[in-house]
Amino acid sequence: MSRQDILRLALMALALAAAVALILHIDVRQERAETELVRSAVREAALTCYAVEGAYPGSVDYLREHYHLAYDEERYYVTYEAFASNRLPDIWVTEKGASAP
């Protein structure tokens, strides 16, 4: 095998590695965007509840029942900490099985 053949193989391997890295990066960004979309949906439902009822709800279950909040519960954990009816609750969304950032 000539040096030129080895160089071509090395360049092809480098291009393949770069393509795989790019695909993985895009996948991670997509997962983050979807997680943020769920968090935004929970927040918007809580804000709607406050606008309609004058108080933030005490749980995500209330939002599901009364404001038709829906998300893939098998894919996401939603932590909703309400500490006062007049303060926006803390909302965290984590994809199940995801590693910590």
Percent of the chain's residues with pLDDT above 90: 56
pTM of the prediction?
0.72
Nearest to 42 by CA among 12, 7, 20, 67: 67
CB 32 within 8 A of CB 62: no
- Over 90: is that where the pLDDT of 5 sits? no
Residue range 36-74, pLDDT digits in tens: 999 999 999 999 999 999 999 999 999 999 999 999 999
Residue range 31-41, pLDDT digits in tens: 888 999 999 99
